[in-house]
Amino acid sequence: MAVQGNILTAFAAGALGASGILVSLLRNPTWSRRILGHRNQIEEVSTLHPDYKPGDKQPSPFTSDKYLALNPAELGDAMYPFMISAVVPRPVAFVSSLSKNGAGNLSPYSYFNAMSHDPPMVVIGHSYSSAKKDTGGKKDTLANILETGEFVVNIMNEWYVEAANFTCGPYDRGINEMTLSGLTPMESVKVKPPRVKESAVHFECKLVHSYEIKNHTGKATGMIVVGEVLLAHMHEEVATKSPHSGHDVVDLKKYSPVSRLGGVSYGRTTEYYNIPRPPKEEQKTPKTASEADEKARL
Ligand SMILES: Cc1cc2nc3c(=O)[nH]c(=O)nc-3n(C[C@H](O)[C@H](O)[C@H](O)COP(=O)(O)O)c2cc1C
């Protein structure tokens, strides 16, 4: 009996010790994410100034009025680090395309966004690369899109970010980054390039417009492509109904969207706050600048 009791006590102490370790691990954001996975890692918080009234001055963290002016005509290509660090966070289009001969390609593009919904249109900015001599600088994705007029934008989710990032290497045209990275192709419905099965949302697109970018010396440095979404797909496990419209929307708590920051940094969305749009009546009570200044002094 005594032996059994000792075993039970040791077991209980072990369990308590283990649960203590688990609790401390869960308090560490990295480990908590590893243990709990990608779900429910986003929480609603309040804005910095929830008591703001229209016309109130909002305090800034700056101690001077100095701004550095960056002139693209002088800086040229050196604008790149500034642009990608300033316009953040950017969503990432993980673009699947095929050459006219059917060779697959997959690469991330963060000069990307959706610009409309009826019909949905997406834009992607392709920078020319000096390494791509055969195509006049066009990277494989762009060369494919221009050849076939089709592509698929997969939204990047955190659970496969390592493989997705791996696809951005300077691989030769004809090398299929889908295979190389271990990601899984999934047949599309309206276009030939495959979707990425690991991604929660896919947009099957057709090219509707391309615009070549020329710099101040007249050199072509890139191309913006506009694509129309022919069919969108949302994995059922990230789907929910909008509390406002009742329509199908993505549940942010299950989505883990990856954003691009400056340099080689990615961003994780862990907090959000809601701010309702102001009603039209707000236009009836304009505050003069002096009233707002007076309030700021009080
Ligand atoms: C997150 C991320 C975002 C990127 N965004 C862009 C972009 O918007 N435009 C661009 O030209 N290259 C971008 N790149 C670089 C391309 O992915 C990279 O040059 C890749 O090798 C192009 O592959 P491709 O030739 O197969 O299209 C990005 C890379 C990463 C990792």
Q: What would the pLDDT profile of 24-76 be if each residue is shown by its tens digit?
A: 665 555 555 565 555 557 999 999 999 999 999 999 999 999 999 999 999 99
Q: Residue 204: name the closest of 225, 226, 186, 188 by CA.
A: 188
Angle at alpha carbon of residue 16, lines to 9 and 41, rounded to 5°: 160
Q: Which residue has the higher pLDDT, 110 or 9?
A: 110
Q: Does 126 contact ligand 1 (Cβ within 6 A)? A: yes
Q: What would the DSSP string read from start to end of 97-147?
A: EE-TT--EEEEEE-SEEEEEETTEEEEEEEE--TT-TTTTT--HHHHHHHH
Indicate the SS3 state at residue 8: helix
Distance 251 CA to ligand 1 centre (A): 27
Q: Tell me how crowded residue 258 is: count the other CB atoms within 10 A of its CB.
A: 24
pLDDT of residue 40: 55
Token couple for 189? 């419905």
Mean pLDDT of 98-108: 98
Which of the residue ranges 23-27, 188-192, 197-201 would you say has the lowest mean pLDDT? 23-27
Enumerate the domain spans of the chain: 2-36, 72-272
Q: Does 125 contact ligand 1 (Cβ within 6 A)? A: yes
Token couple for 272? 């959000």
- What is the residue type of 67? Y
**Residues 229/203, Cβ–Cβ less than 8 Å:** yes
Which residues neighbour 19 within 8 Å (Cβ) at sequence distance 6 or greater?
Answer: none
- Which residue's alpha carbon is at the smallest distance from atom 6 of ligand 1? 109
Q: Residue 153: name the closest of 223, 119, 106, 211 by CA.
A: 106
Mutate to test the pocket of ligand 1, among 130, 139, 158 (most ligand atoms within 8 A of CB): 139
Residue carrying the six token digits 């691990």 = 25
Q: Does 104 contact ligand 1 (Cβ within 6 A)? A: no
In CATH, which of 3.30.2010.10, 2.30.110.10, 3.40.1190.10, 3.40.50.1370 is domain 72-272?
2.30.110.10
Using only C-alpha atoms, what is the Rg of the chain?
A: 25
pLDDT in tens, 120-141: 999 999 999 999 998 999 999 9
Strands (DSSP E) contained in the chain are: 43-44, 90-91, 93-98, 104-109, 112-117, 120-127, 150-155, 185-186, 195-196, 201-214, 220-234, 239-241, 248-250, 258-260, 266-268, 271-272
**Residues 239/247, Cβ–Cβ less than 8 Å:** no
Which of the residue ranges 52-61, 217-226, 256-265, 282-291 would you say has the lowest mean pLDDT? 282-291
Token couple for 196? 């990425």
Query: What are the C-alpha distances in Å from 273 to residues 47, 99, 159, 224, 238?
Result: 6, 43, 24, 32, 20
Token couple for 40? 């429910």
- Residue 117 burial class via C-beta count within 10 angstroms: exposed 0-12, middle 13-18, buried 19 and up: exposed
Confidence class for position 145, pLDDT limits 50, 70, 90:
very high
Q: How far apart are CA 92 and CA 110, in angstroms?
A: 4
Q: Tell me how crowded residue 150 is: count the other CB atoms within 10 A of its CB.
A: 21
Query: What are the C-alpha distances in Å from 129 to residues 20, 106, 143, 177, 282?
Result: 53, 17, 12, 18, 50
